Structure 1
Amino acid sequence: MLRSFLSCAGVLFFLLAGPAWSAGSCERLVATGNPEYPPYLWRNPDNPAQLMGANAELLKRIGRALDIEVDVIYTGSWARAQDEARSGRVDMLAGAFVTQARVEYMDYVHPPFLHTDSVVWVRRGQELFYAGRQDLQGLKGGTLVNNSFGEDFDRYAQQHLSIEVVPSIAQAMRKLLLGRTDYVLYEQYPGTAIAQSLGFAEELDVLQPAISSEGLHFTLSHNSACNTARLRGQLARSVMELRASGVAERVLQDSLALWQSQQVQQDSLLLE
């Protein structure tokens, strides 16, 4: 209970403290993101007030190169994280797809630092013909609240599909396995990682082709005092350098290995 209290207190401190900003220069950036997004982002088991993963590591590397302190904190669900960016209580989202709704309250750093495929998850052995998104019509789907699969697919889903949104992807997967939904939409890497951690990996299958392949961007809140043309330019240049050097992909693979090793450690502790 004490650890939980300290974690909440740490999050509150970061939110109240806000970014350090003076004379038009930003010395500290506070970022958040989707906490159910391994290997891109997840809560640090040793410090649950912080997020770790490929997105956090890449953003911190950029911060060190620019001599800016970067904190990537846990603020709650993905929906809550987006609310924090909208309000300006945090400066950045550490990874988001481009959507029309989000560009109304955030500036996107271009180019994207990574790309990710979103796929259809089904129960293993389930008889479901699928050759493309049109085959999902008439079925009941599930996904994470406030999640996006890119502007094009989001528009198609709103017009043609029946998709229930829930607070966590773990809940969506459980409902799928209970037969309450016919499929779940989520990114392939994070979905695989979460299914493994829940012990569902042998009970779920991924259907191809992917419903979308979107770029992950760092974003700056319109209400962040750190959001300047100068900083956006510095971030863009740093992202291009990380991509060109291959560092972004290497960090992603390292983060996947780290997530998997943490799961093994947690499983061994449960068996003791």
Structure 2
Amino acid sequence: MFRILITATLLSLIVSMNAYALGCQDGTAYISGGSTYPPLSWEHNGELRGASIDLVTQIFSELDIKVVTDGGGPWKRVVQRAKHGKVDMLVGVRRNSEREQFLEFIDPPITPAAQAIFILKESRFKYHDWSDLKGKVGATTLGVSFGSEFDEFAKTHLHIERVKTINQNFRKLLRKRIDYILGPLLPTLLYAEKSGYRYKIKFVRQPFMIIDEYVTFSKLSDCRQHSDYFKERIAEMTADGSMDELLEKQYLSW
């Protein structure tokens, strides 16, 4: 009976392990990220492409490790995959205290990103600081974090609705069901252009914050053994302009 119990336990562990990314031990790193976040990452034919994917693919190739991406998906779900070890790495991640519990953030960040307030073209919305958002109805997408400080401020003082896609928020804004949208400046403009909303909305010239985007390892991944190398190479590639070149290339291709 005891032997049967041990055998069953071992089989259970094997099945459980197979449900997770193997890490870098098989020469492959499994990567995920935002599927609607150009030029850093977006989904194309079931895989992710973008500047952040190009960056980590190049660094992994220097270690003779192959990169496999999934198609991303809703950001909240993507983050959970990394939390539970289903992928080795997430790209284009904003740092907050909750995520630091299960993700290893690689310093330095890969790029700073302006976070903007989007409003209707005819709106006379005036903005000076976060307090000007009080009393209005805002929106963003599910799973998005703007850093611990703003997230806490929003939780306490603001009314912000969250939906699955940016296009849903565009439609809500045009129907005047919300007063503003919070989002990264460049990706939101790109989607507004692609979706036909570009000339119906505008953005407040003053960003409500500048936030850093990071590459992260799942703390359940053995790819973390390469974190020091990633820190060194990301520092070099952001300093010498290589990352800016990748961003420009993917901006033009998207």
**Alignment-derived partner of residue 48 in structure 2:** 51
The answer (yes or no) to whether the contact 2:114–2:211 under 8 Å persists in 1 is yes
CA distances 1:162-198 after superposition (whole Å, capped 9, x unpaired) = 0001011111121111111000000001101110110
| Deviation at residue 74 of structure 1 after TM alignment | 1.2
The answer (yes or no) to whether the contact 1:131–1:208 under 8 Å persists in 2 is no
**Alignment-derived partner of residue 28 in structure 1:** 28
**Alignment-derived partner of residue 68 in structure 1:** 65
Dislocated runs of 4+, deviation >4 Å: none
- Let me know the Cα RMSD of the aligned residues: 1.5
Gaps of 5+ in 2: 1-17
Report the residue type matching 2:175 in the other structure: L
| Deviation at residue 17 of structure 1 after TM alignment | 7.5
Report the residue type matching 2:102 in the other structure: Y
The answer (yes or no) to whether the contact 2:23–2:221 under 8 Å persists in 1 is no
Are residue 141 (structure 1) and residue 146 (structure 2) matched? no
Which residue of 186, 191, 195 corresponds with 2:192?
195
Distance in 2 between residues matched to 1:58 and 1:72, nearest whole Å: 13
The answer (yes or no) to whether the contact 1:132–1:209 under 8 Å persists in 2 is no
Distance in 1 between residues matched to 2:145 and 2:23, nearest whole Å: 31
CA distances 1:45-100 after superposition (whole Å, capped 9, x unpaired) = xxx22111111111111112222111222142111110100110001101101111
Are residue 254 (structure 1) and residue 239 (structure 2) matched? no
CA distances 1:176-223 after superposition (whole Å, capped 9, x unpaired) = 111110000000011011101101000110103111111111001111
Distance in 2 between residues matched to 1:139 and 1:210, nearest whole Å: 17
Gaps of 5+ in 1: 1-14, 260-272
| Deviation at residue 27 of structure 1 after TM alignment | 2.1
Distance in 2 between residues matched to 1:226 and 1:255, nearest whole Å: 26
**Alignment-derived partner of residue 21 in structure 2:** 18
Instruction: Give the secondary-structure state (helix, strand or coil) at the position aligned to 2:222.
Output: coil
Report the residue type matching 1:30 in the other structure: Y
Report the residue type matching 2:60 in the other structure: G
Instruction: Give the secondary-structure state (helix, strand or coil) at the position aligned to 2:95.
Output: coil
Are residue 216 (structure 1) and residue 219 (structure 2) matched? no
TM-score by length of 2: 0.89
Distance in 1 between residues matched to 2:35 and 2:195, nearest whole Å: 15
Which residue of 222, 234, 240 corresponds with 1:239?
234
The answer (yes or no) to whether the contact 1:19–1:226 under 8 Å persists in 2 is no
Number of residue equivalences: 237
**Alignment-derived partner of residue 14 in structure 2:** none
Report the residue type matching 1:183 in the other structure: Y
The answer (yes or no) to whether the contact 2:23–2:30 under 8 Å persists in 1 is no
Distance in 2 between residues matched to 1:176 and 1:21, nearest whole Å: 44
**Alignment-derived partner of residue 108 in structure 2:** 111
Instruction: Give the secondary-structure state (helix, strand or coil) at the position aligned to 1:219.
Output: strand
CA distances 1:30-53 after superposition (whole Å, capped 9, x unpaired) = 110111101111111xxx221111
| Deviation at residue 16 of structure 1 after TM alignment | 5.2
Are residue 42 (structure 1) and residue 37 (structure 2) matched? no
Report the residue type matching 1:234 in the other structure: Y
| Deviation at residue 225 of structure 1 after TM alignment | 2.7
